[in-house]
Structure 1
Amino acid sequence: MIVRTLAECEQSERRVKSETGTWESTRMLLKDDNMGFSFHITTIYANTETHIHYQNHLESVYCMSGDGEIEDLADGKIYPIKPGTLYILDKHDNHLLRGGSEDMKLACVFNPPLSGKEVHDADGVYALDSE
């Protein structure tokens, strides 16, 4: 059994901040936990925009607090995000994630799992872990 608290993880190397200053992510469950997925609590800062295109991963995201929007770059459609919203990137969707008037706190699940230090490259991609 694995038991961790968010507070403990936030005080460890599991807390990763983006170089762009638009988000931070506390990776509570990672590849080396051998569960087949990873679980993160991510904060998207208010009034920011992040380009994301997970070509190597699928992700489900549940909004716990805050507000924002996601824009699908394939068709230009914009979806509001607020508490209770779940969005699923099931087709490696190329998108823009925007923080609204307040920080968004999101619960995220990745498959395959992340190893822990990933940040978006210039194309919004997390590299596939080669281990």
Structure 2
Amino acid sequence: MAMSNQTDKRVFVQSDDCPIRDVVAQIGDKWSILILFSLVDGPDRFNSLKSRIEGISQRMLTQTLRDLERDGFVNRTVYPEVPVKVEYKLTELGKGLTKSVWGLVSWADTHHDDIRAARQHYDARKQ
């Protein structure tokens, strides 16, 4: 993101250097925030996460956990047991992110009814 001297409006460049495109877009997908907040209370296992996040497929949970691990938000620990035990937990970076995003999550919870009413009002005008 850069500031333009001509208009003093933000310009969003298509580059890996743009933090919005590089970081925010990754965590702003349909599942990442739900997974991160599912891990706020402590480590959890794959099947437990899947049962707690309604509607997520096994494939999507696997891919999103890999993406969150790649970005440093989640640690994956494999225990040498039979059967193999795998746990996921937030890293310090992940904990910092959830603290930062908590305001948005709380705001969404508080204003959900208002947003739904606005959508209904909009949709009724468009019919």
Which structure is larger by alpha-carbon Rg, 1 or 2?
2
Q: Which structure shows the bigger proportion of residues in strand conformation?
A: 1
TM range (shorter): under 0.3
Q: Which structure shows the bigger proportion of residues in helix conformation?
A: 2
Q: Using CA pairs below 8 Å that are at least 6 residues apart, which structure has the higher relative contact order?
A: 1
Give the TM-score normalised by the residue count of structure 2. Answer: 0.25
